[in-house]
Structure formats: C-alpha cells, structure tokens
Amino acid sequence: MLSKSAVAVSFFIMSLYGNLFMEAEGIGVNWGSQASHPLPPATVVRLLQDNGIKKVKLFEADSQILRALSRSGIQVMVGIPNDLLAPIAGSVAVAERWVSQNVSAHVSSNGVDIRYVAVGNEPFLKAFNGTFESITLPALQNIQSALIKAGLANQVKVTVPLNADVYESASNLPSDGDFRAEIRDLMISIVKFLSDNQAPFTINIYPFISLYNDPHFPVEFAFFDGTGSPVNDNGRIYDNVLDANYDTLVWSLQKNGFGNMSIIVGEVGWPTDGDKNANMQYARRYNQGFMNRQKAGRGTPMRPGAMDAYLFSLIDEDAKSIQPGNFERHWGIFYIDGQPKYQLSLGNSNGLVPAKGVRHMAKKWCVLAPSANLQDPQLGPSVSYACDHADCTSLGYGSSCGNLDLAKNVSYAFNSYYQVSDQLDSACKFPGLSVITTSDPSVGSCKFKIMISSGGEASGRMPSRRSVAVLLLLSVCLYIVL
C-alpha cells in the first residue's frame, strides 16, 4: 500500500500532467485550404502532431487531407460546403453517396478518426438573405440517415456550425437571449433534431468581428485580462464578450427546453493583419488568454469548465475571399509556410513548433524599377492587375504595410504577383516599371514575402478578387503624385 507522501506526489504529478493533457487534448484547430501554395497535407499533419493538437476541423472533404490524417491520432470534423446543401437536401441517395465516399471509405480503409460531419458553414448568416434556410435541416436529416445506414451514427455525429447572429438579446444581457425571431422556429427544429441524435450545437464566436463592425465597441471587453468594464447579469459577472456571447446561447437553448445540450465552439481566434485591430499583439493576447482559460479549466458563469473549441485558424489562407474584410487571409497562428507568427503556448511546450521540411524559392523579389516614372499611365492598371491576382491585403489602412510610400506600395504589389506566380520571369515584366532584385525590400514590420516552393507539384493560383481598400489607397497616392 502506498504511503501518504507517495500518494501526494503521485497526485501532484497526475494533476500537473493532467492539466497539460487536458489543454492539448481539448483544443482543436480549423484547417482551411484556400491558399495559392498550400503546404503538403503530410507536412501539416506533422505540424499538428508536433504541436500536440489532437482535433482538426475541415471545411470540405479533401481526400488528400483525409488520407494524410490516417492513423494520425487526430480527431476530425469534416465539413460539407454550403453549395452542396441543396443536392444533399433533395436526395437521400446523394447524401448516402457523400457519406460513403467521404466518411465510410476513410474510416474503414484509412483509419481516419472522423467524429463529426459539419453540415454547411454558417448557413443562416444574415448576409445570405435566407438562401439556405429551407435546405439546411433536410440536408442534416439526410446525412444523419446516411450515417445510420452506414452503421456510423454512434461514432460520427452531425452538427451545423452557426454564426453567433442566430441568437440575440434585446437588453444585451445573456439572460435575455433567444434565437433570432425570424428563424426561431427553424432553430428550435434543428436543435431538437441534434438533441434527439445526441449531437452537439456548434457555434462560431468572434469578438474581433464585434470590434471590426462597431468602432465604439469597448476594446478591453474583447480580451480576457479582466480590464474591461464588467457586465452584471443578475449576479453573474461577465468581464469579456466571449463569455457573454456563449451564455446568451446557453440561455437561448435553456429557454427552449435544451439547457443540457453540449456546445462546441467551432471557430474562435484573432487575425494578425488586414485591419487596424488585426495585429500580432492583439492576436497573441487573445489566443494566449483563451488558452490560459482552457488550461485552468475556466468556463462561463452558466457553463463552468473548459470549452470544447477549435482555434481559427491553423495557417493563413492567401486565396480566401476578402468580401468580409482584408483580415480574412490572416487568421492563422502560422504563416502560409508553417512558420509561427508569435509565441503561443498550447500546453505541450513554451511555444509553437514550426513546420518541418518546407522549402522556399530563391531570395529574389520583383520591385518598382529605379528608373520607373511614377506618373506613367500604366502604373495604376499594372498595380490593379497585380493585386487582382495576388494578395495585397497587408497594404490596407492600419495593416502591417499600410504606411508605405507610393513606390513601396507598387513594389509590394508587384512582388506579391511575382511570388504567387512562382517567380516566373514573365511575372515581373510590367513594361518599363519593374525589375528583379536580390536585395530584400522589406521595411520594418512590412515583410516582402518569398513564396514556398511547390516541390514539383502544380501550385495554386489566386482568384481574381479586387481589394477595394487597397485600390482606393493606391488611387489616392496616384492622385497626390499627379
């Protein structure tokens, strides 16, 4: 029989390692793939393992990514994009085929630990104007039927990742929370279906978006330092917006008879660029604050205990749509080459472990030629073309490269296009305007990036999407010069 001292030592060791295990085990990450030069899936899986990340959320069923996750020890939530909701809602056979190809095949043959199927992604956003309201529940029901037929319903649960705008509070107090009036009946039907099938409610909560949308939003209330003005809701004290938002959902569920429903926070994080409030300091402060809460097992006044949550996101996506804002391409805790952006402890070490075996292209950049004339009429169209086909979101107001002069703005645009084009000589031939250099043109925190090597594989290409903020900035600069 163990002595009291031995038991005490054992308990201390178990508690110490239990906290570390809980934190690494409890946190997941979102792995998006909208990048011009995505890292090989095997490299990303190694990155996840090296950082002790045990759960990953995918936005679509990419077969290469799923194969790379085979026998990795990583739990998977695999997503169904919104554009597939209609065919799946309209046909059980389509749902069965999707489950067979994207779940059953990987679970049985490849040993992928799929735990959830995410049906759609924030389908009830107000910006969608009701497009997916009539088809999300039928799609959810058909996927559940397909999982039952495949014999996977006990192992794989369905869910619908929803934006926090599906509920509201007239007083801004969590206890007054309820589902948004125009979709309340639909939400209750979905929640009942999830509850009947022992499936979780998945919610995405973004304090950054609150700050982005409302210039009067109290900045300190977005973080976890307790420095903001607290909100007293009938004795429940809220010192940050995440807790208040989460408990608004808890009250919404409770008022409608589902007070014990499990909740997953599908996306939570902070971007590092593309807006005046998107920077390294705020991102580290927010994400480390969240992780510290997880490690301490702190929940909300209504739901004590660490949250089941997925950080958004793992790696930057330089080809993502910027319709919501330029910050959309900068949510990663890693750059697109798998290098950590800042020190962040996930519980298994003092900081993030970088991706291994990543090769970069040659140290050369495409910049504005010294002989170029800033009043050249081709300058504006050339910059517009470059930014239409590359990522210029760091040039916007308040961003990491927002203080560059006109010449450096142009150089940044040219180089972005040159790098995304795999440093082809033809990608730096803006007539009379551009030249290739081996001298790094980076200025302070504004880094002129070098693209990662595609390693012989066909690299991606940027979609043609124009950043209005960037073009407006450049237009103003050109106007001043002219």
Residues annotated as catalytic (active site), given as ranges: 122, 267
Whole-angstrom Cα Rg for the chain? 24
Q: How long a stretch of residues is the chain?
A: 482
* CB 346 within 8 Å of CB 24: yes
Strands (E), 22-88: 27-31, 55-58, 75-80
Please, are residues 339 and 354 in contact by the beta-carbon 8 Å criterion?
yes
The label of the residue with tokens 């730096």 reads: 428
Residue with tokens 């304090």: 207
The residue written with tokens 């645009």 in the block is: 413
What is the DSSP annotation of 129-182? TTTTTTTHHHHHHHHHHHHHHTT-TTTSEEE-EEEGGGEEETTS-GGGEEE-GG
Query: Which class for 114: exposed (0-12), middle (13-18), buried (19 or more C-beta within 10 A)?
Result: buried
Q: Are 51 and 348 in contact (CB under 8 A)?
A: yes
Let me know: does 51 contact 346? Beta carbons within 8 Å: yes
Residue where the block lists tokens 């990987």: 106
d(CA 136, CA 154): 22
Residue type at position 332? G
Q: Rounded CA gap, 172 and 266, in Å?
A: 22
Question: In sequence order, what DSSP letters do the residues of 258-313 get, joined into one string?
Answer: -TT--EEEEEE---SSSBTTBSHHHHHHHHHHHHHHHHHT---SSS-S--EEEES-
Q: How far apart are the first and last CA of the chain?
A: 88
Closest by CA to 116, choosing from 145, 142, 92, 147, is: 147
C-beta separation of 297 from 306 below 8 A: yes
Cα–Cα distance, 32 to 406 (Å, whole number): 33
What interhelical angle do 406-420 and 379-388 show, nearest 10?
A: 40
Coil, helix or strand at residue 446 = strand
| 426 secondary structure, DSSP code | G
Alpha-carbon distances, residue 379 vs 185, 472, 474 (angstroms): 55, 14, 10
